[in-house]
Amino acid sequence: MINPITFLLETRDELKKVTWPRQQDIIRLTIVVILISVMIGFFIGALDFIFAKVIETIVK
């Protein structure tokens, strides 16, 4: 069984090996995620509106 101190030391060593993204990359990718989320939200909203109108027409 590994003791907590060894675990933390190994974790620190592994995190030193990580290639962290630059701030510009983080901002750019965050904007991309937000834009895609908004586009999908509008698409799903449009489908909901269309289906609601079709159901409303069928029920009447």
Residue 46: count of CB within 10 angstroms of its CB: 10
What digits encode the pLDDT tens for the residues 1-60?
Answer: 779 999 999 999 999 999 999 999 999 999 999 999 999 999 999 999 999 999 999 998
Find all residues with CB under 8 Å of 44, minimum gap 6, and list them. Answer: none
- pTM exceeds cut of 0.75: no
d(CA 14, CA 16): 5
For the chain, what percent of residues have pLDDT higher than 90? 95
CA angle, residues 41, 46, 40, in degrees to nearest 5:
25
